[in-house]
Chains A and B, each alone.
Chain A
Amino acid sequence: MESSQIIILAIIATSLATFISRFMGALTSEKVSVKSKLFQWFNCVAYSTLAALLGRMIIFPAGVLSDSDLIIRLIVLVTCVSIFILSKKNLVLPTIFSAIFLSLLINL
C-alpha cells in the first residue's frame, strides 16, 4: 500500500475510534438524569480520567516534551498554577508564561 493511502486509512481509523466514545456518550446521556447518582459517578470518573491523563502528560510525556527534565516540568507547572491562583484565575497569563519559562529553563 502507498504511504498516502496508509495515512488516510489511519485518519479514518483514528476518527472512528474517537467518535465512538463521543457518540456512545451522547446515547447514554439520554438515559441519565442530572439528579441521579449515576450522573455524579460519571462526573467523578470524567474528572479523574482527565486528571490521570494530565498527570501522565507531565510525569511521562510523549513526544518533544520528554526531552526536558522532570524537575523542570514540575517547576514550570507549580509556578504557572501559582500565577493562575494569584491572578484571580486568569488563564492567559500562566499559559503564555509556561512556554517562555520552559524554553528558558531548558537552555540554562
Chain B
Amino acid sequence: MINQKVFFQGLKSLKGSKSPAIPLAACFVALGALLKDAGFNLQQSAASSLFTYALPGQLVMAESLLVGASLVNIFIAVWLVNFRLYPMTVSLFPLLEHKAQPKWKYYLSCHFLAVTSWLIAKDGYKKIDKKHRIDFWIGIGIGTWTTAILMTVLGYLAADYLNKDMLVGLAIVNPVYFFCMMIGAMKNLSISIAVVGGTILGPLIYLVSTEWALLFAGLIAGTIAFLFGDQNGK
C-alpha cells in the first residue's frame, strides 16, 4: 500500500544538514508556551497542532481568542492567513501524481502541507521515482507533523521555565529557516523574482491592509514573476 523504502526516505529528511527538526521544534515550543498563556489546557494545545498544523493560523487563533474575537472572525482571519496553502498544494501535488496511486492518499496527506514540508518536498522530489513520490511525501509529512505535535506539548510543559528573551530567540528561528530555504530554492529567474517581489510587497501592502496583504502580494508578485519567466523562456 505504501512503499516503505520511499516512505522512510521521506521520514529521514528530519536528519542531516538540511534538517527542519530544529526550526520546527523552536517555533512549536514557542507556540505551546503561547497557547498555555492563552488559557488552553495540554490536550487542547496538542489538538490544535494535530488538527490545524499551520503555525501562522494557530497564532492568529490564539491572538483572536485573547482579544475575544467571534468564531466567524477567527474562521475568516485564519482562512486569509492560511490561504497560501492552496497555491502551495497546487504547485506540489501535480508533481506527486501517479495513476497507480489511490486518490485517498492525496486527499488525506494534503493535511501535511505546511511551509516546512513543502520546501523539503520541492527540494527532494526529483530524486524519487514518479510512482512512489506520494509515499515520499507522506514520509516527510508524518515526520514534520509528529515533530510539531510533540514540540507543542513540550513547549506547553516547559512554559514556566522559558523566559521572555528565550521566547524572542525562539521566534526568530522560523523566519530565518524559511528565508534560507527560499534562497536555496531560487534556482531560476521566475522563482527569484517571485521571492524578491513577495518579500518587498508583503510588508508594503500590509501597511494598507493587514488581512489581505499576503493574498494580494502573492498574486501580484507571482504573476509578474510568471510573465517575466514566460517571456524569457524560463
Contact = CB atoms under 8 A, between A and B. Distances in A.
Interface of A: 3-4, 6-26, 28-30, 32-34, 37, 39-65, 67-68, 73, 76-77, 80-81, 84-85, 89-92, 94-96, 98-100, 102-103, 106-107
Contacts of B83: 21, 49
A44 B169 contact: no
Contacts of A77: 172, 175-176, 179
A96 B22 contact: yes
Contacts of B84: 21, 46, 49-50, 53
Contact of A7 (B65, B110, B164, B215): B65
A55 B175 CA distance: 9
Interface string B8-20: 0000000001111
A77 B7 CA distance: 33
Interface of B: 17-20, 22-23, 26, 30, 34, 39-41, 44, 47-48, 51-54, 56-61, 63-65, 71, 74-76, 78-79, 81-95, 97, 106-107, 110-111, 113, 115, 118, 164-185, 190-191, 193-203, 205-206, 213-215, 217-223, 225-226, 229-230
B78 A18 contact: yes
B202 A13 contact: no
Contacts, number: 333
- Dominant secondary structure of chain B at its interface with chain A: helix
Contact of A29 (B65, B85, B89): B89
Contact of B182 (A22, A47, A56): A47
Contacts of A26: 89, 93, 106-107, 110
Contacts of B19: 91-92
Contact of B75 (A17, A37, A41, A76): A17
Given A49-B217, A65-B172, A98-B176, A21 B203 contact: no
A14 B106 contact: no
A80 B199 CA distance: 17
Contacts of A98: 169, 172-173, 176
Top 5 A-B pairs, shortest CB-CB distance: A25-B89, A52-B202, A49-B218, A51-B198, A45-B222
Contact of B63 (A33, A63, A73): A63
A57 B23 CA distance: 15
Contacts of A63: 30, 34, 59, 63, 171
A91 to B, nearest CB: 5
B61 A11 contact: yes
A46 B74 contact: no
Given A24-B86, A41-B222, A52 B185 contact: no
A12 to B, nearest CB: 8
B179 A81 contact: yes
Contacts of A50: 84, 88, 115, 178, 182, 198, 218
Contacts of A29: 89-90, 92-94, 97, 106
Given A39-B94, A63-B171, A99-B173, A47 B185 contact: yes
